Amino acid sequence: MFTINIEKECGCFKKSDFHNNENFADKDRALTEALSMVEYMNNNFCQKHQFELTENGNEFSIKVEERVSSGCCGGGHCS
């Protein structure tokens, strides 16, 4: 059995259709699902957090970290 574990359930995760500690019988299916989740969360959640996947035995963990902001709004006048 392979498990996808979310380290910290942020508000966006709780509002999503994703589930924590979901189990899969097949490693490839679990890995594919975990990668898909990370990509979706990094691109579609509120951008306060960065999500990163790590593998440890039969567990795929999705780490949640605060995004580092440069303070620049991207308007071109900061440089």
27: tokens are 């490693």
CA 76: distance to chain centroid? 30
The DSSP output letter for 23 is E
Residue ranges in the chain whose pLDDT is less than 70: 69-79
Q: Mind listing the pLDDT tens digit for each residue in 57-79?
A: 999 999 999 987 655 555 555 55
- pLDDT for the residue 68: 78
Which residues in the chain belong to E strands, given as ranges? 2-6, 22-24, 49-56, 59-66
